Amino acid sequence: MQCRDAQFYLRLRRPAGDELGADVAADLDRHLADCSMCAPEAHAAQSFDSAVSAMMRSIPVPASLRDKLLVQASTHHGAVIRRKVYRLTALAASLLLVAGIGFGVFSVSRPKIDTTDMVMHADEQLQNPDAALSQWLTEHKFPSQLPLPFNTDLLVTMGTERVQGSNIPVVVFRHPTELGFAKVYIFRADGTTNLSSLRDTNASLTMASVIEGPQYRGVKYVIVHTVHPVHEGEQPLKPFLRVPGNTARL
C-alpha cells in the first residue's frame, strides 16, 4: 500500500469498529507498521477522531424535552383513540341506519295477512265452488276442469301438499256421508319431476288412480281416495262424483 492510499483509508477508519474490510485493514496496518511517516499520522488521526467523536456527542439535552415529548405522545395517543371511537361510532350508526331501512322495507313489503280476505275467500268458495275451483286451476295454468266430474259441494281445499320433496298442487274433496276423502294431485309433465313410476295402486283403505292423456295438455292427475263400498261395475270414486243428470252446479 502506498502512503497516498494509506492517508485516504486513515480518514475512513472508524473511531469504533472498522468497516474498511479485513484485507484493506490488514494492508493498512502493515503499511503503518513500516512507514515512519504514516504511523504518527494514524495515531494523530485516531486521537483526533476520538476527541471529535466525544465532543460531537457532548451536547446537554434540555431537561424538559422528555416531558414535552411524553405529553406530545399522550396527546397523539388520545387523538388516535378519539379517531377510532369516532370511526366506530360512525360505523355503528351507519349499520343501525342500514338495518333500520332494511327492516322498514321488509315491514312494508312483507305479505299482510287479513282475516276479512280469508273469510270472503271462504264465502266465495262455499257460494260458488265450481267457479272457485275453475279459477284456481286456471291461475295455476292447468286445464280449467278436473278429468272427472267431482261433486264440488264436497270441495274442502285447493292448495299444495309436500309430496316426496316437491310441493304438488292438490284439490281435496270429502266423502258426503262417511269419514273419507279424495285428493286430486296435479303433476305437470315438464321434466321437473320424474313421473315414470306413476301407476294405479291399492292399499287396504285407500287407492290411487292415475289419469293421463293428450287432452290434458301435459298434466297428469293422481287421485288418492278412500275406498268405499260401491255396486259392481261402478266407478270406485262414485261417492265423490256428481250424480249424473244433476248439473245444477255446472
Q: Could you list the residues that contact other proteins (CB under 8 A)?
A: 8, 11-12, 14-17, 19, 40-41, 44, 47-49, 51-53, 55-59, 61-62, 65-66, 68-70, 72-74, 76-77, 80-81
Q: How far is the CB of 59 from other proteins (least distance, A)?
A: 5
Cell representation of residue 138: 286456471
Minimum CB distance to other proteins smaller for 68 or for 217: 68
Q: Which of 223, 219, 127 is nearest to 172 (CA)?
A: 223
The smaller minimum CB distance to other proteins, of residues 8 and 86, is found at 8
Nearest to other proteins of 33, 205 (CB atom): 33
Q: How far is the CB of 37 from other proteins (least distance, A)?
A: 9
Cα 173 to Cα 250: distance, rounded to the nearest angstrom? 17
Q: Which is nearer to other proteins, 39 or 189 (CB)?
A: 39
Phi, then psi, of 24 in degrees rounded to 5: -65, -45
Count of C-beta atoms within a 10 Å radius of residue 4: 8
Least gap, CB of 63 to other proteins (angstroms): 11
Q: Nearest distance from residue 65's CB to other proteins, in Å?
A: 6
Please state the closest distance from residue 57 (CB atom) to other proteins, in A. Answer: 6
Cell numbers at 184, concatenated: 286430486
Report whether 221 contacts 143 (CB < 8 A): no
CA-derived radius of gyration, the chain: 50
Closest by CA to 29, choosing from 11, 47, 10, 50, is 10
Could you please report the per-residue DSSP string of 203-233?
Answer: -SSEEEEEE--GGGSSEEEEEEEE-----TT
Beta carbon nearer to other proteins, 25 or 156: 25
Separation of alpha carbons 78 and 172, rounded Å: 73
Nearer to other proteins, 66 or 217 (CB): 66
Nearer to other proteins, 43 or 249 (CB): 43
- Residues 156 and 151: their CA atoms lie apart, in Å, by 11
What spatial distance separates the first Cα and last Cα of the chain, rounded to whole Å? 126
Which helix or strand (DSSP H or E) is residue 55 part of? Answer: helix 38-57
Distance of closest approach, residue 83 Cβ to other proteins, in angstroms: 11
We find the least distance from the C-beta atom of residue 64 to other proteins, in angstroms, to be 9
